[in-house]
Amino acid sequence: MKNTINRFAIIFGIIAGIVTIVYFINNTPKTSSNVVDIVGIWIQDDILYHREAKKTDEPTGNLSDAYGEIKIIFNANFTYKSYFDNTSSNGEWKIENDSLYMTGHNKKDRFKYKLNNDELIIYSYPWLMALRREKGS
């Protein structure tokens, strides 16, 4: 009887452990491999903007028309610094569940984005930011 209870306890413990592991695997935030790929210096590219704007179904504005030169530096420590013409701001970033999150000035923004080699497209309706990685970054 004692051996049966011990076997039952061991089997129950194994099953509970497997269920716990499966639960945590399925409920952890999905972080993209793009986390490493986005690190670097990104500069607004108007040619890339026009190419991408043609692909969208919604009208989009070019942020460089409103702010002039745009530059964003994504650091490996999950901080960023953005430059919109003569103003700059700092914040933190993360990629989770296929979205780019950027926090700064006490607000958190979630953006749809597309990363393809040295091209980063950030969608923030009605704006579209098209950035190209600065060579060497």
Q: Positive or negative CA dihedral for 116, 106, 53, 49?
A: negative
CATH architecture for segment(s) 35-133: Beta Barrel (2.40)
Question: Region 118-127: what's the mean pLDDT?
Answer: 90
In this predicted structure, the answer to whether residue 22 has a pLDDT above a threshold of 50 is: no
Domain boundaries, the chain: 1-30, 35-133
Q: What is the pLDDT of residue 43?
A: 96
pTM flag (> 0.75): no
Each residue's pLDDT tens digit, 59-93 = 788 877 778 889 999 999 999 999 988 899 999 99
Phi, psi angles (nearest 5°) of residue 130: -115, 115
Stated length of the chain: 137
Q: Are 60 and 44 in contact (CB under 8 A)?
A: no
Half-sphere exposure of 88 toward its Cβ, with a 13 Å CA cutoff?
6
CB 95 within 8 A of CB 32: yes
pLDDT at 24 over 70: no
